[in-house]
Amino acid sequence: MPRSAVPKTTTATRGGRRSPQSNGPKPAVGSGTTAKGGERRDQIVRAAAETFYRKGYDATTTQDIAEAVGMLKGSLYYYISAKEDLLYETINEVHEVCATNLERHAVMDGDPLTRMWALVHDHVVGNAEHLLSSAVFFRDVGALTGRRRTQILELRDQLDSALRQLIHEGQTTGRIRDDVDADVAAPGILTMCDALYHWYRPDGTLSASDVATKYADLAVGGVAARTSYVSKARDAALAHLGAERAVAADMP
């Protein structure tokens, strides 16, 4: 996907607002009490994400972002302390989705291939539904500094570790081939998932779930000891995910 083609995605918020971070960006004055301030900040973050996507973080200036939302550069600093605040918020959008998925899958039942299928599926759905954030993370996470960078990369390491553990467990139970090198397969699968932004378009013929299913099949099929294990893992994972949705729908 060319950088100029900005995907049409929505900015995810928790309860309509981003959760405060002790090491995160400066909150707007009054943003905790007025919807107007929160909406304006969301516009700025969205504009920053789109500009980072098109130009790259290093090439983007605060002037670019201010012009994108129709404000003076000086007024932008009413909402942020530095450009990096906006990079962190952009990346943290998909980071929070990924963290939630990882927590959910840590307690999921099922054999290793079923859990791998579900983990890959949900990771791809998260990337597809937050395509701008995913792309900016993949390209520009190295521009984050200090605790912010450590926090984001720690989650990446946790994902990698979870996949490695599933591969080792699958090899122990005979579900995954002995010749699979977890040190290569785990980061390879993650890179495949995170590079989705190169070609995926939300307004195309494939939904996020369609793509996620294909990617999960590819990931499991690449390591499974038998080809028949792929469909079994898919069916079991989809049944589990369907049950989760049903429970969530019944909650008040």
Write phi, then psi, for 176 (nearest 5 degrees): -120, 140
Is residue 213's pLDDT more than 70?
Answer: yes
For the chain, give the mean pLDDT: 85
Same domain, 63 and 167: no
Q: Which of 66, 82, 98 is the last residue of a domain?
A: 82
- Residue 220, in any domain of the structure: yes
pLDDT at 252: 59
Please indicate whether residue 6 or residue 244 has the higher confidence score (pLDDT). 244
Tokens 């900015």 belong to which residue?
11
pLDDT tens per residue, range 37-62:
678 889 999 999 999 999 999 999 99
| 134 & 66 share domain | no
Confidence of residue 64 (pLDDT cuts 50, 70, 90): very high
**CB distance 17 to 42 below 8 Å:** no
- Specify the pLDDT at position 24: 44
Instruction: Count each helix (H run) and each strand (E run) in the chain, helices first.
Output: 10, 0
Nearest to 82 by CA among 98, 65, 105, 102: 65
pLDDT of 23 strictly over 70: no
Judgement on whether residues 43 and 161 belong to the same structural domain of the protein: no
What pLDDT shows up at residue 241?
A: 83
Q: What is the pLDDT of residues 140-189, one digit of tens each?
A: 999 999 999 999 999 999 999 999 999 999 999 999 999 999 999 999 99
| Domain count across the chain | 2
Same domain, residue pair 117 and 171? yes
For residues 56 and 141, state if they share a domain: no
Residue with tokens 């139970």: 173
What does pTM read for this prediction? 0.81
pLDDT computed for residue 32 by the predictor:
42
**Cα–Cα distance measured from residue 163 to residue 159, given in angstroms and rounded to the nearest whole number:** 6
Q: Which domain holds residue 63?
A: 35-82
